[in-house]
């Protein structure tokens, strides 16, 4: 009782056929009266197996970063870092408060943001205003020299301040996050499993998405991640897929390298925060960089776009998928 694969089905689908045959044999053994309809029974089971097991075999999952990939939150990060660290009043979470922050700090923060992987890294421009950062390693050396106790205290203060302004200055806080062109629409029409893994807390990310009427289940947002590999592992296990069926997009080149080394399909988003050194690093490690236009037009032929609508319209233009 062996049935052939349907046209276009992969060799891996032989497993589905064998499962269907075995299931039919077991049912006939338990219910001999089904023998006369064995062929129909097997075909029915084969269809069910293709819908269940086949879905898992062919499923692809997309995992996205948030800041620097989906939206630009630099303004918010500057304000919560400075105000939270120096325990400023909530009223200073404003344009006037931003103007009161020394330009030297804002410029230094922008430089350091290109190398930052998590909130703790935002402490660097507060404690070091002079060291040159030609490479990621140079930045990491300064960060690693900071007492971890000070880092934890800083993170607690900034998170507390962020939660406060989210409540008391909600409209302004939301306005500090600007979505990259085309991403709002892209997220609204997602028709495949997608997650967000970010250093930002999940409540903030979910609130920003909800403000734009973007339906995204909060349990699919992994927030406050200093290292993203653990989250990727959890997601692959939740979706019951091998690492090779998970696609990860991040603007942090080091996160991408770690994910690729673990067997995930990882791509470096070049429209986010980066430095010239990161382009040399990507070339040295054969890490593919991808522009926003390339991503939204699917020039890399990502399989997870297969069931997407034919086009996604941004505020600026129509982006063909």
pLDDT tens profile 186-211: 998 887 789 999 999 999 999 999 99
pLDDT of residue 110: 95
Domains plus CATH for the chain? 11-57 (no CATH), 60-71+176-320 (3.40.50.1000), 73-174 (no CATH)
For 21-41, the pLDDT digits (tens) are 665 566 556 656 656 665 655
Predicted confidence band of residue 227 (pLDDT cuts 50, 70, 90): confident
Assigned token pair, 204: 């903030």
pLDDT of residue 226: 86
For 236-281, the pLDDT digits (tens) are 999 999 999 999 999 999 999 999 999 999 999 999 999 999 999 9
- Name the residue among 62, 63, 109, 71 with its Cα closest to residue 205: 71
∠ CA 253-222-105, rounded to 5°:
55
For the chain, the average pLDDT equals 84
Phi, psi of 267, rounded to the nearest 5 degrees = -130, 145
Q: Write down the pTM of the prediction.
A: 0.77
Predicted confidence band of residue 299 (pLDDT cuts 50, 70, 90): confident
- Name the residue among 241, 234, 240, 233 with its Cα closest to residue 219: 234
User: DSSP H helical segments within the chain, as ranges?
Assistant: 14-30, 38-58, 74-85, 95-100, 103-113, 124-127, 136-144, 148-168, 170-175, 183-188, 202-211, 229-239, 253-261, 276-284, 292-296
101-119 burial, b if ≥16 CB within 10 A, otherwise e?
Answer: beeeebebbeebbbbbbbb
CB atoms within 10 A of CB 191: 11
């Amino acid at each position: 009782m062996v049935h052939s694969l349907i046209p276009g089905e992969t060799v891996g689908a032989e497993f589905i056929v064998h499962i269907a045959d075995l299931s039919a044999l077991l049912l006939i053994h338990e219910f001999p009266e089904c023998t006369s309809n064995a062929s129909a029974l097997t075909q029915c089971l084969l269809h069910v197996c293709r819908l269940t097991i086949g879905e898992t075999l062919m499923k692809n999952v997309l995992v996205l970063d948030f800041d620097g990939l989906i939206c630009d939150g630099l303004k918010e990060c500057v304000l919560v870092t400075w105000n939270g660290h120096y325990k400023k009043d909530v009223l200073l979470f404003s344009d006037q408060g931003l103007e009161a922050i020394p330009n030297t700090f804002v410029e230094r923060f922008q430089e350091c943001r290109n190398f930052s992987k998590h909130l703790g890294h935002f402490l660097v421009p507060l404690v070091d205003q002079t060291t040159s950062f030609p490479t990621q390693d140079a930045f990491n050396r300064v960060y690693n020299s900071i007492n971890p106790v000070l880092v934890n205290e800083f993170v607690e203060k900034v998170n507390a301040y962020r939660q406060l302004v989210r409540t008391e200055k909600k409209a302004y806080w939301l306005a500090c996050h600007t979505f990259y062109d085309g991403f709002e629409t892209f997220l609204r029409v997602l028709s495949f499993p997608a997650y967000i893994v970010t250093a930002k807390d999940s409540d903030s990310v979910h609130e920003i998405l909800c403000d734009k009427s973007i339906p995204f289940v909060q349990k699919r947002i992994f927030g406050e991640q200093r290292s993203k590999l653990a989250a990727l592992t959890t997601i692959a296990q939740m979706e019951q897929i091998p690492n090779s069926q998970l696609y990860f997009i991040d603007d942090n080149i080091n996160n991408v390298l770690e994910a690729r080394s673990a067997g995930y399909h990882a791509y470096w988003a070049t429209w986010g925060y980066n430095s010239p050194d990161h382009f040399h690093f990507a070339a040295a490690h054969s890490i593919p960089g991808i522009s926003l236009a390339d991503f939204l037009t699917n020039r890399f032929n990502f399989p997870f776009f297969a069931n997407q609508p034919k086009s996604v319209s941004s505020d600026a233009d129509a982006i063909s998928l």
